[in-house]
Amino acid sequence: MLVAPAYLRTPFSNEERAVMDKNSQQVSGFISRSEVNAELAKNSLLTQRKLSSIEETSKFRIMFASRFLYDVSKWRRLREGGPFYNATVDGLVSKTMPASEWNYYQNFQKSSLPVSVIIGDHDFLDMGAKLVTMSSKGIPGLQVTVVPQAGHNIWIDQPTRFREALASALNR
């Protein structure tokens, strides 16, 4: 099971690159949406005065949340600020990755086990889940669940829908 996965294939086809280019434009619009400024204003962070270190941290976390969450008002639920990078974990994962190219879809095609992908419809890596949907066509054991009104951190944006999708995937 994959939850809000990173890219599952590289290199990308021309069609996938076109989707990614459009995705990049959509992400730019998404992270500069009015709700982000409203959240900054609600927390008095759109001021000309010098912000305290706590205010700077809050502003950073709101901006960070603008990319990872559909509902930016839930920014406080993101733990530890810029937290999703862990050098130790990255080093361990990197050791298992091919040096230049990989294609998990080929492995899914060959597998007799069911594979589930759960992704938010506003995941900054794949807005609208177009890449994963396009790439998963024709793979019988692969089920893609797109959770509406959810970003990369689905479990924060839509906890009930996430639990339902997770339970469904685990019961396959």
User: Where in the chain are the domains?
Assistant: 2-170
Give the predicted TM-score (pTM) of the model: 0.86
Cα(104)–Cα(98) distance, integer angstroms: 11
Q: Are 3 and 154 in contact (CB under 8 A)?
A: yes
The per-residue pLDDT string of the chain (172 residues; one tens digit each, 9 = 90 and over) reads: 888 888 888 888 899 999 999 999 999 999 999 999 999 999 999 988 999 999 999 999 999 999 999 999 999 998 754 445 667 877 787 787 777 788 889 989 999 999 999 999 999 999 999 999 999 999 999 999 999 999 999 999 999 999 999 999 999 8
| Neighbour-count burial of 95, counting CB atoms closer than 10 A to its CB (0-12 exposed, 13-18 middle, 19+ buried) | exposed
**Within 10 A of 131 (CB to CB), how many other CB atoms are there?**
22
